[in-house]
């Protein structure tokens, strides 16, 4: 059965790009039902979408099932909610995001949003100041906390004459996020993913430790996506403030040594290993059992390297697919490639962690995948949830390519 997409089109200049999005979705095999707000119909006609989808476009809460049949038209939003796998809103205007965030149900699209229980993808498009306004940013956070995927707007010249963030993401990029989120896709069925996430903590004494800024969000997004796609997931997690994803077996650890032990314990069961944890590189061997007192004028730490878990897995991986991460502040692709070679990985996910709004602790990421086949793929800036889906798509493709060439 094709993926059934309900596409809400909001009122903004970018509404014309929704026509391209429909084409990208239908050519990807999806069946699309378009729902337009009143203001969207001022920018583009329902006829365009009807021609592209071969279906009547829903344009208002009460007329779509016929004016006489008030009862059936008044429950049409429930039927549309039940019959679609995913709800996509592109362009998502500031007003629509505010209505979604607050649960207002004023027209067909906002009512459909409330009745819909499946995954939601939003592609915001608006003036830069409207996008950056704390009200919109707060709404965005609320919507993301509900698990919705926000395909972030790009930077560039806008119809209003301003230059900055606010331009709707390209239709192909939105289509890729939607199609890769096919809820019925169980392409990891039968796989066991061993994942690590978060930072490690290396004790200095009973009250102090060395750690880093990793939030674990990327690794947790990968774990959630893999579980949704049918994998058994064992998530070895350093200390983070995230709820465990549904259907995932969690093993909590603190130090690099504990992470190593947990990973080796579950190695045999795994078919794919993803090491997204930011493991501390150094630790204090035999930290004092008592709190260190402030007596000396200077204090030096004599640290020794922690075990390189990824390098050890590279030696022990057998036929498993091994994916590492490289968080860098410069030379990202070259460093990712070096780590792939020295640690015998099949793929390294490289990301720059010194860019505003990206990397550690942010909800978004922009990564480059460096692969054993020699291929390098740059994934555009997107939510960590969308990046997680793309990483899983690419690792499955990579495995096929590696089998074919062996
Ligand atoms: N890693 C690991 N064990 C360590 C250090 C790193 O398993 N003791 C893994 C990380 O989980 C990640 C990859 O190695 O998948 C790269 O980590 P990173 O800290 O970027 O690389 P390092 O090898 O520590 O190299 P450098 O500090 O020189 O950048």
Q: What is the pLDDT of residues 292-343, one digit of tens each?
A: 998 888 999 999 999 999 999 999 999 999 999 999 989 999 999 999 999 9
Q: What is the pLDDT of residue 302?
A: 95
Spacing, Cα 320 to ligand 1 middle (Å): 19
Q: Is 384 helix (H, G, I), strand (E, B) or coil?
A: helix
User: Does residue 325 have its Cβ closer than 6 Å to ligand 1?
Assistant: yes
User: Does residue 43 have its Cβ closer than 6 Å to ligand 1?
Assistant: no
User: Does residue 327 have its Cβ closer than 6 Å to ligand 1?
Assistant: yes
Per the CB < 8 A criterion, the answer to whether 274 and 234 are in contact is: no
Per the CB < 8 A criterion, the answer to whether 372 and 226 are in contact is: no
Alpha-carbon distance of 40 to 36, in angstroms, equals 6
* Catalytic residue from among 78, 135, 160, 183: 160
Ligand 1, atom nearest to 345 Cα: 15
Q: What is the pLDDT of residue 319?
A: 94
User: Does residue 352 have its Cβ closer than 6 Å to ligand 1?
Assistant: no
Question: What are the residue ranges spanned by the domains of the chain?
Answer: 4-179, 192-405
Q: What is the pLDDT of residue 362?
A: 78
Spacing, Cα 309 to ligand 1 middle (Å): 8
User: Does residue 58 have its Cβ closer than 6 Å to ligand 1?
Assistant: no
Spacing, Cα 339 to ligand 1 middle (Å): 8
Determine phi and psi for 392, rounding to 5 degrees. Answer: -65, -40
Q: Is 140 a catalytic residue?
A: no
Helix (H) or strand (E) run with residue 228 in it: helix 217-228
Spacing, Cα 263 to ligand 1 middle (Å): 15
Helix (H) or strand (E) run with residue 101 in it: helix 94-102
Total residues found in the chain within this entry:
406
Q: What is the pLDDT of residue 65?
A: 47
Ligand 1, atom nearest to 335 Cα: 29
Spacing, Cα 341 to ligand 1 middle (Å): 13
Helix (H) or strand (E) run with residue 26 in it: helix 15-27
192-405 shares the fold of 4-179: yes
List the Cα angle 354/397/333 in 5-degree steps: 25
Cβ contacts of 294 within 8 Å, gap of 6 or more: none
Instruction: Name residues of the chain where pLDDT drops below 50.
Output: 64-65
User: Does residue 274 have its Cβ closer than 6 Å to ligand 1?
Assistant: no
Per the CB < 8 A criterion, the answer to whether 60 and 33 are in contact is: no
* Rg (the chain; Cα; Å): 24
Q: Whose CA is nearest to atom 8 of ligand 1?
A: 308
Q: Write out the DSSP string of 45-74.
A: -HHHHHHHHSSPPB--TTTTT-SS-HHHHH
Spacing, Cα 55 to ligand 1 middle (Å): 52
User: Does residue 256 have its Cβ closer than 6 Å to ligand 1?
Assistant: yes
User: Does residue 312 have its Cβ closer than 6 Å to ligand 1?
Assistant: no
Tokens representing 22 are 């429909």
310 HSE (CA, 13 A, CB side): 27
The CATH class for the domain spanning 192-405 reads alpha beta
Alpha-carbon distance of 391 to 349, in angstroms, equals 8
Alpha-carbon distance of 254 to 235, in angstroms, equals 13
CA distances (Å), origin 57, targets 14, 80, 95, 270? 18, 12, 21, 47
Name beta bridge partners: 323.
274, 347
Determine phi and psi for 283, rounding to 5 degrees. Answer: -145, 170
Alpha-carbon distance of 285 to 308, in angstroms, equals 15
Torsion over CA of 250, 229, 91 and 359, rounded to 10 degrees? 40
CATH of domain 4-179: 3.40.50.1950
Determine phi and psi for 277, rounding to 5 degrees. Answer: -65, 145
Q: Write out the DSSP string of 235-293.
A: EEE-S-S-PPPTTEEEEE--SHHHHHHHHHHHTTT-SEEEE--B--SEE-SS--SSPPP
List the Cα angle 357/363/367 in 5-degree steps: 75
Q: What is this structure's pTM?
A: 0.71
Q: What is the pLDDT of residue 398?
A: 94
């Amino acid at each position: 059965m094709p993926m059934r997409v309900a596409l809400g089109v909001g009122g903004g200049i970018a509404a014309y790009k929704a026509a391209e999005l429909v084409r990208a979705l239908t050519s990807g095999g999806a069946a699309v039902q378009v729902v337009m707000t009143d203001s969207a119909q001022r920018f583009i006609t329902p006829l365009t979408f009807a021609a592209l989808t071969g279906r009547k476009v829903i344009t208002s809460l009460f007329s779509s099932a016929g004016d006489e049949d008030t009862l059936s038209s008044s429950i049409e939003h429930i039927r549309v909610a039940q019959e679609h796998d995913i709800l996509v809103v592109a362009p998502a205007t500031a007003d629509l995001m505010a209505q979604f965030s607050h649960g207002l149900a004023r027209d067909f699209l906002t009512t459909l949003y409330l009745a819909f229980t499946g995954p939601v993808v939003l592609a915001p498009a608006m003036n830069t100041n409207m996008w950056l306004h704390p009200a919109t940013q707060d709404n965005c956070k609320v919507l993301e906390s509900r698990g919705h995927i926000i395909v972030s707007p790009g930077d560039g010249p806008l119809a209003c004459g301003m230059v900055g963030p606010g331009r709707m993401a390209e239709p192909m990029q939105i289509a890729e996020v939607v199609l890769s989120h096919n809820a019925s896709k169980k392409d990891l069925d039968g796989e066991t993913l061993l994942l690590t996430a978060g930072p490690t903590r290396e004790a200095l004494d009973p009250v102090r430790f060395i750690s880093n800024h990793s939030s674990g969000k990327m690794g947790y997004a990968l774990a959630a996506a893999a579980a949704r796609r049918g994998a058994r997931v064992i998530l070895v997690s350093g200390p983070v403030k995230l709820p465990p994803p549904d259907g995932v077996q969690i093993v909590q650890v603190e130090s690099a040594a504990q992470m190593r032990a947990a990973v080796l314990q579950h190695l045999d069961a795994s078919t794919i290993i993803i090491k997204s944890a930011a493991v501390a590189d150094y630790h204090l061997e035999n930290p004092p059992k008592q709190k260190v007192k402030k007596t000396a004028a200077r204090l030096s730490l004599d640290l020794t390297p922690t075990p390189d878990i990824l390098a050890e897995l590279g030696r022990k991986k057998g036929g498993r697919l091994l994916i590492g991460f490289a968080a860098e502040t410069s030379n990202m692709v070259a460093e990712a490639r070096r780590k792939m070679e020295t640690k015998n990985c099949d793929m390294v996910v490289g990301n720059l962690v010194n860019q505003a709004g990206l990397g550690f602790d942010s909800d978004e990421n922009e990564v480059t995948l460096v692969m054993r086949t020699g291929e390098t793929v740059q994934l555009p800036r997107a939510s960590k949830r969308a990046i997680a889906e793309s990483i899983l798509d690419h690792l499955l493709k990579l495995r096929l390519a590696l089998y074919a060439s062996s």
